[in-house]
Amino acid sequence: MISWPWKKPKLYRHGDLLLRQVDEIPESATPLSTSIIAHGENGNTHKLHGSHQVYETPDKQILFQAKQDVSLKHQQHHTLKISKGNYVVVHEREYNPFKNIQEEVID
Amino acid sequence: MFSHFSVFPVLFLVMTSVANSAEARSADEPCSYLHKSWKINPSTGICGPTITNKSSSAPPVQNYAVNNPTNTFQQINCGEGTILKNNSCVIDFRHEVDAQGQTGGINDAFLPVTNLFDNMPDFPKVDPVLIGFFAAIFITSIFIGRQFSRKKRIARRNRREWGSHRPDELGILRVTPEEYRRMQAFERSFATVGKSDPEYFLHVTSGAKLVDASRRGNELYSIDTIIRGRSLKLLKYCDPSTGQPYVSFVPEHINKADHGMAWKFHVTDREYGGMGDEA
């Protein structure tokens, strides 16, 4: 599939998660039988509702395919409507200036 | 009002006339009916027994009287420990004179005529130069003590050991012990106050300075006092759903609040600017 430069990928933010639209799911990704795309600290989850399929790559990257418009729910955030497409899940990060490292934020 | 002012002089006149009439006594009446032999002393106006001069029988008083012929001793009601002399009450030093005369310490010819406050001790006189000298020693000792206090010694040692610029090795942050303690305190404060009350942490605890604020509500702060020569960047952002503020460190090269937010989500500034829904 051709990625046109003027065609911006859709971006959604849901708490500490960013959903970035991608053209396609990598072939190395394996499907998962779950609707949860991220776990939080206190047992909270980011959960998809609708027709979808979640994938995981060998480097633990989470992707999902929304076969139609789906909704993403979390106990502490509003429900987010996501249009049809392929998405990669990006976690928020933060910087530790004392250890000079980057860490993943867990909601 | 005028009546009040006129009453007091009238009352005063009545009282004085009554008092004068009460004191009136004819010349042939004794001054005391209980002791009819008593006479009024013309010098004091007090009714009392007839005074006879016994100075010749009392040796110390006799000496004093002989040497001071102008003084007359009359045991009249001047009060305990005082005598009447030249129509005024003065302290009676005759017993002291007697004691000193027995020890032979003083010449009787120079017996003092002492008033009540003549024996007050004088305050010691201190040389102002001496006061200035001790003040200078005191101030100098304080100054020297401050210079050689433990805190100053540690600071001098740190400057000596860490003052020269040493390039940080890759992945190693070289700090002084003082900076290390400051960093530990700051990390503890960030982990507690910064997570629970970011606004208080930013504006009260950390002393951070605002660098940039964006229309999306993100704010970038700078803290220069934790690590020498480095400026820590703190990003304050709000949860779109709850509106709750959060603070998070971002790399030091970031100077825009939205740039810091884009860095957090691995996107470019342009992508973050065109972000769709947030929840």
Instruction: Mutation target for B interface from A11, A41, A90: give the one with most B CBs within 10 A.
Output: A11
Smallest Cβ–Cβ distance between A11 and the set B171, B263, B275 belongs to B275
| Contact of A54 with A64, CB cutoff 8 Å | yes
| Residue B102 near chain A (CB below 8 Å) | no
Q: Which of A98, A99, A106 to mutate to test the interface with B (most CBs of B within 10 A)?
A: A98
* CA distances (Å), origin A18, targets A32, A80, B187, B224, B247: 20, 12, 27, 31, 18
| Range with top average pLDDT, B111-120, B132-141, B228-237 | B132-141
Question: What is the mean predicted confidence (pLDDT) over B191-196?
Answer: 86
By the 8 A CB rule, do B61 and B52 touch?
no
Unique residue bearing structure tokens 């605002």: B210
Residues B114-132, mean pLDDT to the nearest whole number: 77
Contact B97, B64 (CB under 8 A): yes
Closest-CA residue of A relative to B223 is A97
B278's CB contacts (< 8 A; 6+ apart) are A12, A13, A14, B240
Residue B98: its pLDDT value, please? 61
Contact B267 A20 (CB under 8 A): yes
Instruction: Give per-residue pLDDT as tens, B4-44.
Output: 545 555 555 555 554 454 455 666 777 777 777 777 777 77
Cross-strand pairs, A94: A103
Scanning B170-229 for CB atoms below 8 A from A yields 171, 173, 183, 187, 227
Position B269 scores a pLDDT of 86
B47 touches chain A (CB under 8 A): no
Q: Report the pLDDT averaged over residues B39-56.
A: 68
Residue B37 neighbours by CB under 8 Å, 6+ apart: B30, B49, B50
Sheet with strand A17-22: strands edge to edge = A11-14, A17-22, A85-91, A62-66, A52-56, A30-32
pLDDT number for residue B67: 47
- Work out the end-to-end distance of chain B between its first and last CA atoms, rounded to an integer number of angstroms: 86
Residue B99 pLDDT grade (very low, low, confident, very high; cuts 50, 70, 90): low
Average model confidence (pLDDT) for chain B?
Answer: 74
pLDDT at B16: 52
Interchain pair A97, B171: CB under 8 A = no
Residue with tokens 């860095």: B263
Q: Which stretches of chain A score pLDDT less than 70?
A: 1-7, 107
pLDDT digits (tens, 9 = 90+) for B144-154: 888 788 888 87
Residues of A with CB under 8 A from a CB of B: 8-15, 18, 20, 72, 76-81, 90, 92-98, 100, 105
CA distance linking residue B162 with residue A55, whole number of Å? 52
Asked if B169 is an interface residue toward chain A (Cβ–Cβ < 8 A), one would say: no
Would the CB atoms of A80 and B277 count as touching at under 8 Å?
yes
CA closest to A11 among chain B residues: B275
